[in-house]
Chain A
Amino acid sequence: MPSLDCKKLLSGKFISRRNKEKLIESFFLINGVIVIVILAGIFILLVKNALPAFKEVNFAHFFTAPIWNPDAYEQPTYGILPMLASSLMVTLGSLVVAVPLGVGTAAYLSDVASPRVREIAKPAVEVLAGIPSVVVGFLGIVLLGPVLARLTGTYGGLTALNGSVLLAVMALPTIISLSEDALSAVPRSYEEASLALGASRWQTVIKVKIPAAASGILAACMLGMGRAIGETMTVLMATGNSAEFPRGFLGSVKTMTSTIAIELGEVAYYTTHFHMLFAVGLLLFLITFVINLVSDIVFHKHTQVQG
C-alpha cells in the first residue's frame, strides 16, 4: 500500500495522483450514466421507428379501429384495440389467480412457516422464477391445454384462460418475494401491540400486518402485473393467436407481445406494417413504464410510512 510522503507531494506527483483519481471517478460516472442512456435510447429508437407509420395511418385510426388486419387485400387496417383488449384481459385474468395465491403464500412464509419450511420454500420460489418462459409456454401447450380442453370443451385448450394461468405462474415469484419482504418489514412492535390487546394471531395478520404492508404488497402486485403484460413466449404459445376482438376467456386471443413476435418475422423491413409493430412496442413500453413508475411511487410511500 503506497503511503503519502512529502517528496511525492513536493515533486507534484500528488496532483497527478489526484487527477488520476478524478479520471477513475469519471470513468465510473460514465458507467452509471450509461443506464440512463440505454433507457433513453430504447425510447428514442422506438419513437423513431414508430413515427413513419403515422404518415400513412391516422393516429386516431390506430386507437379506435376495432380491427388489426395489415394483410387486407384492399385497405389494411391497423387498429390496436383488439390486441390491447387481449393483453389487458389475459393480464387481469392472471392477476385474479396470482394475487390471492401470491399474497397468501407470502403471508404463510412470513407469519406461519417454521424457519425450516421457509428455508426450503424461499429457494423454491426462486427456482420457479428461473424457469424460462418458453418452457412454461410449452407446458401450456402439452400439459395445461389438454386439461382445459377437456374441462371447457374447447379444441386444444389454447385460450385466453390458458394464457392467464401461465402468466400467473410467471408473475407469482415476483409477487411472493416482494410481498414477503413487505410483510417482514412491518415492525415487530405492531404485532406485539396487537397481540397484547387480545387480538388472535389471525386477526393480527389480517387486520394489522397486511394493512401495514399494504402499499408494499400493492407495489409487488403492480410489478407482477408489469411482468405479465410484457410476457411474450407464454401467451404466444398458449393463447392460439386469433386476431379477432377477444370474445371471452374461452376464446383465442392475440396479445400485443404475440403480435410483434409473430409479425416482425414475416414483415418486409421499413414498410408501414413494420413501423406499426414498433408503434405497438412503443405503447407496450409506455404501459410498463407507467406501471413501474406508479409502483415505485407507491413503494416509496410505503417505506416512508415504515420510517
Chain B
Amino acid sequence: MKIRYSRIVEFFGFMSLRVCMVVVGMILVVIFYDIITKGIGIVSWEFLTQPPADGMTKGGIFPAIVGTFFVTIITALLSVPLGMGCAIYLNEYARDNGLTRFIRMSIRNLSGVPSIVYGLFGVSLFVEMLHFGTSILAAGCTLGLMTLPLTITASEEALKTVPRSYREGALALGATKWQSIWSNVLPYAVPGMLTGTILGLSRAAGETAPILFTGAAFFLPDIPNSILSQFMALPYHLYIMSTQHHNITLVRPIAYGTALVLVVMIFAMNLAAVILRYHLRKKGISHGH
C-alpha cells in the first residue's frame, strides 16, 4: 500500500514538472502565434520602405528600421572593441588578485543595472555633459555601455575554448605573450567572440528604455543625415503606436507589423550569429590541422 502511494506521488510530481515545461513552451508559442498571425497582413514592401503617413495612421516604418540600424552600428563600435579588450585582459593577462575579482564583480553588477538607469546615465553623461544632445551618438553610446557586460562575458567564453597548449606552443618557440595571443589565440577565439557580440547587439536593438531620452524621436519623415541627429527606432515606434498615438485602435495593425519586423530582425541577427559561428569554426578547424 505504501509503495503504491509513493508511486502516485512520483507520477504527479514528474507530471507537474512536465506541466511547467509545457506552460513555458505555450508562452513562447502564444507570443509568436499572435505576433505572426496579426502582423503578417500589414507587412509588405511598401510597409518596409515607406515613411509613416497621414499622422502615422498609414504608410510604413522605413525610418524606424534605418534608425535602429544606425544606432546598432554605434553600439557595436563602442561595445565590441571595449568588450574584447576587457575579455583579453581577464582571460590572458589578469592574475587572481583583488583587482581581478573587483573587475568581475563590477561586470556582474553592470549586467544587473536596470535599463532605465542606463537611460538616466546616458542623459547626464552623453546628452548633457559631453554635449552629444539627443542623438544617434548619445543613444548608441548608452546602449554600447549597456551591452558591454554581455560582450565581455561572450568574448571571455570564446577565449576559454582555446586550448592552453596553443599558447604554450607559441611561447616555447620564443614568441612574446602578445605574439602568442595574436597568432595562436585570437584566430580561434574570434568566431565565438563575434557570435556573442551579435547576440548582445540584438539585445541592444530591441531596447527601448535607454533610448527614450537619449535620442529616439516620435516622428521624423526623413532619414537622419548625421550621427548628431535624432532618429526613429523600431522598439520606440512600437511603444508609441501602442500607447501614445491619438487613435490607438486604428493604428493597431501598424503596431503589430512593427512588432513582427522587430522580432524577425532580432531573430535574423541571432540566426546570422549561429551560421557565422558554424562557418568560421569549420574554417578554423581546417586551418588548425
Q: Could you say which residues of chain A place their CB within 8 Å of the CB of B13?
A: 202, 205-206
Task: Given A21-B178, A133-B208, verify A264-B28 contact (CB < 8 Å).
Answer: no
Q: Could you say which residues of chain A place their CB within 8 Å of the CB of B175?
A: 1-2
Interface: A49 (CB within 8 A): yes
CB atoms of B252 and A112 under 8 A apart = no
Interface: B250 (CB within 8 A): no
- Complex CA distance for A138 and B35, rounded to whole angstroms: 10
CB atoms of A35 and B112 under 8 A apart = no
CB atoms of A112 and B242 under 8 A apart = no
> A103-114 vs B: 1/0 string, CB under 8 Å?
011011101110
Of B19, B183, B263, the residue contacting A131 (CB under 8 A) is B263
Task: Given A33-B103, A261-B116, A265-B212, verify A108-B85 contact (CB < 8 Å).
Answer: no
CB atoms of A202 and B9 under 8 A apart = yes
A108 to chain B, nearest CB (A): 4
Interface: B125 (CB within 8 A): yes
Number of interface residues of A (CB under 8 A): 91
Q: Could you say which residues of chain A place their CB within 8 Å of the CB of B19?
A: 104
Interface: A160 (CB within 8 A): no
> A31-43 vs B: 1/0 string, CB under 8 Å?
1111110110110
Of A28, A38, A139, the residue contacting B34 (CB under 8 A) is A139
CB atoms of A131 and B82 under 8 A apart = no
Interface: B23 (CB within 8 A): yes
Q: Nearest chain-A residue to B90 (Cβ)?
A: A32
- 10 closest Cβ pairs, A-B complex: A230-B114, A132-B206, A104-B20, A31-B85, A32-B89, A202-B10, A28-B89, A4-B174, A232-B209, A108-B17
Residues of chain B touching chain A, judged by Cβ–Cβ distance below 8 Å, are 6-7, 9-10, 13-14, 16-21, 23-25, 27-28, 30-31, 34-35, 82, 85-86, 88-90, 92-94, 99-100, 102-103, 105-110, 112-121, 123-125, 128, 145, 148, 152, 170, 173-179, 183, 199, 202-203, 206-209, 212-213, 235-236, 238-239, 242-243, 252, 255-256, 259, 262-263, 266-267, 270
A–B pairs, 15, beta carbons within 8 Å: A1-B179, A20-B176, A29-B89, A35-B86, A49-B120, A104-B20, A121-B25, A132-B263, A134-B239, A142-B34, A142-B255, A169-B27, A172-B24, A223-B112, A284-B117
